[in-house]
Structure 1
Amino acid sequence: MALVLVVLVLGSTASTSAPPADPAVDRQEQLVTVDGNSSLWPYTSSATTFEQRTLAINVIAAGDPAETRRHLEERSRGDWNETRPDQEDVGTASEDTTATENETAVAEEPAGTATSWGRADGSTRYVYVAAEDDPTDGVWLDESYQLHDGDYLGSRHHIRAYESPRDGDEWTAMQAHQEHWDWFRLSHTVTSAENSQRYVEREFMDRRSVSTVSREHLGNGRGFDSDGWVAIVDLETDGDDPPVPLETVAVLSGAMLVGRVASRTAPRELVAPRVRHAFLLAGSLIGLYLFVRFGAVGLESRLGDIDPRLVAGAFYPLIAVGLPVCTYAFARPLDRSTAFAAASVGFATAILLDYTLLGVTRLPVNVFVHRFSTAIALGFIAVGASHAERIDPEDHGFVRMGTLLWVVTLLVPLLRFL
């Protein structure tokens, strides 16, 4: 059983990348005309080659590139802060290892239209730009700038913008995606390009200096959840927007209080002790995991000048050590089956709540397999710590099995750093 679960964990980290791109097809059939003079390959790449295709370009702004940048940086509907170089993505984001066939919906996108774009840095991605009359004679561009809206240790929208390298061309191609900090990968995981595309579209809507915001089908639907439709923003050369009043950003913070099921109005005898202890176990895992997520986000916001990776390092032991220790401590009064169910379901609920509160709508299947294995590991630890297991003279080794699987679930996602 342990061997099977370890294999599951190893399989969950395997690449689920999109099918390899055909350079000939991409160069001859996928180039699109931009501004009448240039041809653009409507994807980004992790290297200066077509074979390393990552995500699809999903926004193109036609107009002065400086004006486009000013729209995003100075006319946002919310507060924005500059992101320093020490806030770059750790390692490589999962955009290289995801495909449209391997994603699962988690929750609906939360309502809201306020956008607050700040300077951002991340892994370098390239686009290919060529002259319209000679698509084979082109250049690879890295990002002109990057922007983000959100929290480094929470969820954020991330833009990579590419300005035209040719004199006389006035356009900016963007790749926008949504990502969140993964406490097991210790890096950002891309969850959607479509959500961020809509997010950026709203940034340009109803502006006096923007003539139209529309979508055009370019057929570049081979990256994550992209559907081949690209947002086209046409900027006016004159006119200005009315001033946008600053809005107060309300930070929703909830404290999950884990208490006993019995209350003053309900006699304790009406609730079985097993049920009370099961809720305590599940609630402790939920409370601890959400505390790590939103405690880290809150500290990151409060200590604006500190490297967010230091905050992540301070909270990570609560994930690596705190969750199994909490499981072992609260599972002691329970029987085997109740302990396993309370621990695994409690952790799964914590993950679901976390993604829902972050607004994550899609995840790769390998992430679900990994989280399933992690929940099973905590379930085994709970079984080994249960009262029935401790008084049993036969040693079944559930604690060792759960600890082994837990260590594997922690280490395997980090192997890419070696």
Structure 2
Amino acid sequence: MRRSIVVAAVLVTIALLFIGGPSLLFSPSTADIAPEEDDASDPEIVTPDGSESGFWPYLNAREAHEKRSPLNVVVRGDTETIVQQLKDHGDEDWEETDHDHFDAAELVDSVANGSHEDNETVGGDLASENGDSEQLISPTEVPWSKADGATRLAYFDPGTGDDAYWTTETLQLEDGEYYGYRYHIRMYEGPNQDDQWVVMQTHSEHFDWFTLRHRVDGVEKAQYRLEKDLMSIPAVDEREDVARINLGNSGPSDADGWATKVNLMSATVLLTVGLATRRDGLLEPAKSKLDAQLTETDRTRIEAATDRIEAGHLVLLGTIITIILGVRVMGVALDRHVGFLSVHMIAALLYPFIALGVPISTYLIARGLTSRLDAAVAASGSLAVAIWLDYGFVNLNSLPIDVVLQRILVVIALGLIAGGAAKRATRTSPVNDMLLAGVAMWVLVLVGTLFGYL
């Protein structure tokens, strides 16, 4: 029992150092958990120039004025005109693609009844998406696809004496890989035909195989990408037609509330595209001086630790990395090239490799390792490495705090499974407290995240 406590303490330290610490350091959106809430009787309405109607500058999954998803694009003109302007200046052919979306909590049921949803998160906010998508426009920078998706509500004030109301999307666009990284836009046409404006929300997101949800990384990169695309339209004069404004909706994700107003003179369309402040400074690792600071005692300890490495440790590292990255790559490949498989079918096919393949492989390989601590450290360290490699694959640059917590827990759980499977842990019985604790934690964490408890 005492040894198990030592192993657990080491695993907690590893998880915090290699998952929690870097995540909190490099992810500015991790602090955005509890959204602010406007007074429902007097929400702040933004009115585009020259119009009577206006909008509350956030979206929500329910009829509540919670400041979750900031609107960051306003276009003067109707939806058809906006889409046509982008299409006219595209340089790629239109194609059709099919996507189904699903709710992770109903994965098993959906196989039978065909219902699909896809969840998103912005600072802890979960959303669902469903439907098909077809290639809609191919603008200069982004090959956007039309996507029928989740119900996201915008709050409009007609400005004519009528009551303000909540409304759903007019149109959705996406670009990228469903099981990889993509950009996503939601468009809402204004309430008065004479006012001629459309408000949008654009963000970047990735698919999280541990939670079976789309996780929004931020709005900044997507806003900048869309802005470049709109600016490529010949009618835009950068010096005369571009100005910055502030919509006052900073806070969620990496949004800072600033917007760029663009005037499309030839189409008599005024475009307002949110542009968050870019964080250009990349951390450059300093040259390590560790080697010069090591004492002979330190070198002896390092050599002793190196001597304890077994072939099984390297096999464990390779196996876990292969499974995690293999699922990511196969998901993208199947979605792109195997048309008869729906998105839900792909998830049902590949998710067991995460939920079952990782712990079972870890258990079988760890049975050949001697030390409980070495096996536990190798397994948890390997999963941490695989997680960061996967983040790199989808170009992830921000994490919500619930994802950080979930990753910490699965790293600890897998380490306990490996430690409990090692030879010294199974001398008297193949089942022990460390193994049982690891399996229980792994199951509870994955089930809890699938059903929205984590």
TM-score normalised by structure 2 residue count: 0.71
Q: Give 3-state SS (helix, strand or coil) of 1:380's partner.
A: helix
- Structure 1 alignment gaps of length 5 or more: 9-14, 100-112, 240-270
1:223 aligns to 2:252 (yes or no): yes
CA–CA distance in 2 between the matches of 1:216 and 1:199? 18
CA–CA distance in 1 between the matches of 2:228 and 2:257? 19
Instruction: Find the partner of 1:16 among 13, 28, 33.
Output: 33
Deviation at 1:39, TM superposition (A): 1.7
CA–CA distance in 2 between the matches of 1:31 and 1:281? 56
Counterpart position of 1:309: 344
1:97 aligns to 2:124 (yes or no): yes
Instruction: Find the partner of 1:341 among 377, 395, 398.
Output: 377
**8 Å contact kept, 2:174–2:184:** yes
Counterpart position of 2:129: none
Identity of aligned residues (%): 34
CA–CA distance in 2 between the matches of 1:213 and 1:312? 44
Write the mapping of 1:150-189 to structure 2, written as runs, cut at 5 A: 150-189=176-215
* Aligned amino acid, residue 321 of structure 2: I
Structure 1 pair 379/214, CA: closer, same or farther in 2 (3 Å)? farther
Deviation at 1:316, TM superposition (A): 0.8
Instruction: Find the partner of 1:124 among 151, 159, 175.
Output: 151
* Aligned amino acid, residue 83 of structure 2: R
Q: Give 3-state SS (helix, strand or coil) of 1:237's partner.
A: coil
**8 Å contact kept, 2:321–2:385:** yes
CA–CA distance in 2 between the matches of 1:70 and 1:319? 43
Counterpart position of 2:56: 41
**8 Å contact kept, 2:35–2:66:** no
Q: Give 3-state SS (helix, strand or coil) of 1:36's partner.
A: coil
CA–CA distance in 1 between the matches of 2:340 and 2:88? 21
CA–CA distance in 1 between the matches of 2:89 and 2:212? 32
Counterpart position of 2:416: 380
Deviation at 1:126, TM superposition (A): 1.8
CA–CA distance in 2 between the matches of 1:312 and 1:359? 21
* Aligned amino acid, residue 44 of structure 1: L
Deviation at 1:397, TM superposition (A): 2.1
TM-score normalised by structure 1 residue count: 0.77
Q: Give 3-state SS (helix, strand or coil) of 2:248's partner.
A: strand
CA–CA distance in 1 between the matches of 2:81 and 2:354? 44
Deviation at 1:238, TM superposition (A): 4.7
Q: What whole-Å deviation, never above 9, does each CA across 1:83-124 have from its counterpart, x for those lacking one?
A: 54634672542237359xxxxxxxxxxxxx942210112211
Counterpart position of 1:60: 74
Write the mapping of 1:363-378 to structure 2, written as runs, cut at 5 A: 363-378=399-414
**8 Å contact kept, 1:339–1:382:** yes
Q: Give 3-state SS (helix, strand or coil) of 2:388's partner.
A: helix
* Aligned amino acid, residue 361 of structure 1: N
Instruction: Find the partner of 1:145 among 171, 187, 198.
Output: 171
CA–CA distance in 2 between the matches of 1:395 and 1:292? 30
CA–CA distance in 2 between the matches of 1:91 and 1:277? 38
- Structure 2 alignment gaps of length 5 or more: 16-31, 104-116, 127-139, 269-305
CA–CA distance in 2 between the matches of 1:186 and 1:299? 16
CA–CA distance in 2 between the matches of 1:74 and 1:315? 39
Structure 1 pair 155/53, CA: closer, same or farther in 2 (3 Å)? same
Structure 1 pair 96/192, CA: closer, same or farther in 2 (3 Å)? closer
Q: Give 3-state SS (helix, strand or coil) of 1:209's partner.
A: coil
